[in-house]
Each structure stands twice: as structure tokens, then as C-alpha cells.
């Protein structure tokens, strides 16, 4: 696969960086996101357009010396080449002297500099205030440890109040990911269920191979590139990962309420809260509440690959280590797993339709609803106009009779929300719906994979 095809759906990020570049003022930008999300490729693409200096920090003690050599080469400075910079203060002073004209400097994996020198950010703050803020430098600090980078943005950080912009690079949405490979929509749903919207995973996916062969190649065999990826990502940010592994395993297995997670992970409830908070701050889980009314939170794993890995790979590692092919064991459960993923894709589908004005009204809020044993997959609301859209999502082929049964039950459940006087619409998303056009003529919003394919092609 050619590298160009990996650059998908990052126009908003590029526009943000270009806008800051065109300000002509000193800019201190913090850009961050999980590993393999495409930050470095985004920054290199930006530098191709504006030119500038890219500096990659590493886990060693020679970063300052290495940066000096990069500066010497970039500015063709023979003196600096023979006399490397010895302190971060001198480094920032040098940059200030070279920034009378627009100068873009990217420092990638900045967390390694802070680990090696706890005073790095304080030094940056000092020299930003003394010199750099009065220049035309555009300094971009980039990092992959989300909790660390968000700490840099907090009020406790030395550079608080100095940054002029921040951007968290998130996963790419399902419909943009279809630009990566010419695969059919059903295969794309399966791949999304495993790899989510992480560009590097999709770049490594081989569309010439079967879906399951891709999984064997990338994660379901010993030595595969992503075989132990979640464990290594957690170890980068946490000292002891054992309890976090147990919690994520419990959530991926369906233990989503606080007490259930405590039981499933065998952790005391009084201790569980702090672990959940850490995982939520890192972006690996999210607490979800009913979109209407009050209800206890349920916890979901936000990262699709983490969710897949903890459900299907983590509990089977002994078999993988012994060289067994675990695909057949996964297939038995995979279709049920896809149902939850398809709900997320359906939500993205509705958001895209909402932006395009292709729904009965523009909603301002969307989410799941549940109470006791009743549940609605998606509820979209415009509270100001008192309009609601209720949608059920089914990862299966439905006959017209089955579809009508789902919609009748949906109308019944919608009354449980107590939205009296609201204008209500009802919808269904499935793999395939027989009689789709007839249902539409009766006022039901009905979509299947063909409609998702159509949206992806627009």
C-alpha cells in the first residue's frame, strides 16, 4: 500500500495548524493522541507545505546533543556542529535568535524530554516569557501518552497560560476509513470492530487477504505485530498494569456496571473508582448514562482494538503461545460482538445524516437509553423543538415482518421515556431489510448496509 493512501480525514487538523501558522505570531501548540493515530504523519504533511524543523525525542540522554546537530544541519551552522548546545535554556535562546522570520519547530514524543529532565517545561516557560513569545516561532509539542499530555494542559503545568492552541488527534470515523481500502461494507464493519479508527492498523490491513487471515497476521498469532499491543501501551503509562488488565477484561466480557466490574475483576469496590478514573483519563474507557432521565452509569471500552483484544485475545494467550489457531473459537462469539460495534457505526451514520440535513429534524443530542430491562439503542433529541428520533440497530438480515415487529416494539418502548407532547420519529438500521421502501412510505426511517455504502461514496 502506498503511503499517500494513509492520509485520510485530517483536513480539520491541517486547517487548525495552517490557521496558527498564518497568524504570524508566536505560537505554542500542544498536539497529542494515542500511538498509531497518525500524529507524526499529520505533522510531516504539514511541514511539507510550510517547511520547518522536525525533532524526534527518544528514550535516551542524548536528545539535546541530537537536536543540536539537527539545528546545525537545518541552519547550516558549522559552529553549532562543533559546539553542541549544553542546556535547554541555550536551546530555546538559539531558537529565539532564529525566529525573526516564521520558524516551525516540532518536538515529537516530548514526554521523553520531561522524563529525562523534570525541569524541561519550567525552562520552556521561562524562555517563552523572556524571548520566544516575542518572536515568530511556531513551536509544536507532540506526544503519545495521553494522560501525560493532558497534564501539560492543566493548571498545574508550568506552561499553563502560555499555550496558544491544543488539539487531541482522535480516531478516524468509520465512513472515512472506507477510503483506505476497496473492501465491501460488511468486511469494513468487521475490520472496524477489531481495529477501530486507528489509521496505522488500517494501513497494515491487507485488502487482498481474507479478513480472518488479516487477524492471524496482525494479532492472533505469537509474534504478530499487535499481538500484545494493549499490554505494552498500558505499561508505557502505568507502573503496575495487573489490576487494569483485570478491569478491562471484565468490562470487555460484559460486566459494565460498577459492582459487576468489581466482582468480575475481583477488586474491592472502595478501590475500583480510582482505577476507573485513571482508565477514563487515559481515554480507554468511558462512563455512559441514559440520554434521557437518570440512571446508573455503565462503563464501555472506548478503544475498539482494546475491546476486541481483551475479549478474544487476552483470555486465549496460552493457546496462541502453544501455536493453536484460535479463529474458530472466536467466530462463535464474533457475530454477537459485532452487534455492539454496529450500534456505534449506526450512531456515526445518524450524525453524518444530521450534518447533511437528511433527517426529519436536526438533533442536538444522541445516545442510548435504558431503564430496568428495557433499552433503546439510539435516541436522538432536539430538546428545544421537542422532537425525538428512536432507532433500533440489528446486525442481521430482517424480513419485512421482523422489521415491523422491531418497529412496533420500538414505539412501545419510546412511550416509557415520558416525552409527552414531543414529535416522534422511528427508525431501524440493519444489515439488510426486506420491504425497506414500503416501510419508508409509511413514515419509518429504515436503512441497511446499502445505505451505509451510499453515504461512504458521497
**Rounded to an integer, what distance in angstroms lies between the CA atom of residue 390 and that of residue 380?**
7
Return the CATH architecture of domain 174-340.
Orthogonal Bundle (1.10)
3-class SS of residue 405: helix
Residues of the chain with pLDDT below 50 are 1-5
Q: How far apart are CA 249 and CA 181, in angstroms?
A: 31
Pick from 275, 219, 268: nearest CA to 242: 275
CB–CB of 427/390 below 8 Å? Answer: yes
pLDDT at 2: 34
pLDDT at residue 6, rounded to an integer: 53
Q: Which residues belong to CATH 3.40.1350.10 in the chain?
A: 345-457
Q: pLDDT at position 8, please?
A: 73
Q: How far out from the chain centre does Cα 137 lie?
A: 30
What's residue 5's pLDDT?
43
Q: How far is CA 387 from the centre of its chain?
A: 30
Q: Where are the alpha helices (DSSP H) in 178-257?
A: 185-195, 199-204, 211-218, 229-237, 242-252
In the chain, residues under CATH classification 3.40.50.300 are 3-168
- Start-to-end C-alpha separation, the chain: 23
Question: For the chain, what is the mean pLDDT?
Answer: 94
**What's residue 7's pLDDT?**
62
* C-alpha cell of residue 153: 494542559
| Residue 131, phi then psi, degrees to nearest 5 | -130, -55
Per the CB < 8 A criterion, the answer to whether 364 and 389 are in contact is no
* pTM recorded for the entire structure: 0.92
Residue 155 to residue 159: CA distance in whole angstroms? 9
Q: Is 88 exposed, middle or buried (0-12, 13-18, 19+ CB in 10 A)?
A: buried
DSSP state of 3: G
pLDDT of amino acid 178: 85
For residue 143, give the nearest of 267, 37, 44, 287 by alpha carbon: 37
What is the CATH number that goes with domain 3-168? Answer: 3.40.50.300
Write down the residue that cell numbers 478514573 correspond to.
Answer: 277
Q: Which of these CATH numbers, 3.40.1350.10, 1.10.730.10, 3.90.550.10, 3.40.630.30, describes 345-457?
A: 3.40.1350.10
Amino acid at each position: 500500500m502506498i503511503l499517500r493512501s494513509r492520509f485520510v480525514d485530517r483536513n480539520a487538523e491541517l486547517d487548525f495548524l495552517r490557521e496558527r501558522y498564518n497568524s504570524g505570531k508566536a505560537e505554542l501548540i500542544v498536539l497529542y493522541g494515542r500511538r498509531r493515530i497518525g500524529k507524526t504523519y499529520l505533522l510531516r504533511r504539514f511541514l511539507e507545505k510550510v517547511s520547518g524543523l522536525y525533532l524526534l525525542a527518544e528514550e535516551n540522554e542524548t536528545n539535546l546533543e541530537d537536536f543540536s546537530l539537527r539545528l546545525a544541519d537545518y541552519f547550516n551552522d558549522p559552529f553549532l556542529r562543533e559546539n553542541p548546545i549544553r542546556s535547554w535554556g541555550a536551546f530555546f535562546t538559539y531558537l529565539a535568535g532564529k525566529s525573526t522570520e516564521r520558524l516551525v519547530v516540532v518536538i515529537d514524543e516530548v514526554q521523553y524530554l520531561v522524563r529525562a529532565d523534570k525541569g524541561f517545561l519550567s525552562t520552556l516557560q521561562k524562555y517563552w516569557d523572556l524571548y520566544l513569545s516575542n518572536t515568530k516561532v511556531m513551536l509544536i509539542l507532540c506526544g503519545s501518552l495521553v494522560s501525560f499530555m493532558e497534564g501539560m494542559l492543566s493548571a498545574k503545568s508550568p506552561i499553563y497560560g502560555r499555550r496558544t492552541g491544543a488539539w487531541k488527534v482522535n480516531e478516524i470515523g468509520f465512513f472515512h476509513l472506507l477510503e483506505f481500502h476497496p473492501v465491501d461494507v460488511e468486511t469494513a464493519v468487521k475490520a472496524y470492530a477489531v481495529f477501530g479508527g486507528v489509521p496505522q492498523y488500517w494501513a497494515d490491513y491487507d485488502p487482498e487477504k481474507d479478513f480472518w487471515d488479516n487477524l492471524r497476521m496482525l494479532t492472533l498469532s505469537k509474534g504478530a505485530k499487535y499481538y500484545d499491543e494493549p499490554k505494552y501501551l498500558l505499561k508505557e503509562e502505568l507502573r503496575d498494569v495487573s489490576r487494569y488488565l483485570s478491569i478491562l477484561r471484565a468490562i470487555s466480557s460484559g460486566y459494565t456496571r460498577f459492582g459487576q466490574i468489581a466482582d468480575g475483576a475481583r477488586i474491592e469496590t472502595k478501590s475500583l473508582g480510582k482505577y476507573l478514573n485513571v482508565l477514563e483519563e487515559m481515554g480507554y474507557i468511558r462512563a455512559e448514562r441514559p440520554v434521557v432521565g437518570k440512571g446508573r452509569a455503565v462503563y464501555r471500552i472506548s478503544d475498539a482494538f482494546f475491546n476486541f483484544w481483551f475479549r478474544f485475545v487476552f483470555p486465549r494467550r496460552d493457546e496462541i503461545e502453544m501455536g493453536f489457531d484460535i479463529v474458530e473459537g472466536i467466530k462463535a462469539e464474533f457475530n454477537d460482538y459485532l452487534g455492539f460495534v454496529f450500534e456505534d457505526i449506526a450512531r456515526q451514520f445518524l450524525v453524518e445524516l444530521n450534518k447533511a440535513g437528511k433527517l426529519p429534524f436536526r438533533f442536538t443530542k444522541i445516545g442510548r437509553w435504558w431503564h430496568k430491562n428495557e433499552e433503546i439503542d439510539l435516541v436522538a433529541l432536539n430538546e428545544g423543538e421537542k422532537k425525538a428520533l428512536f432507532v433500533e440497530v440489528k446486525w442481521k438480515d430482517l424480513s419485512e415482518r421482523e422489521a415491523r415487529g422491531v418497529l412496533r416494539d420500538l414505539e412501545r418502548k419510546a412511550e416509557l421515556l415520558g416525552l409527552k407532547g414531543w414529535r416522534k420519529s422511528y427508525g431501524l438500521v440493519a444489515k439488510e431489510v426486506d420491504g425497506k421502501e414500503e416501510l419508508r412510505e409509511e413514515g419509518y426511517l429504515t436503512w441497511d448496509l446499502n445505505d451505509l455504502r451510499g453515504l461512504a461514496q458521497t
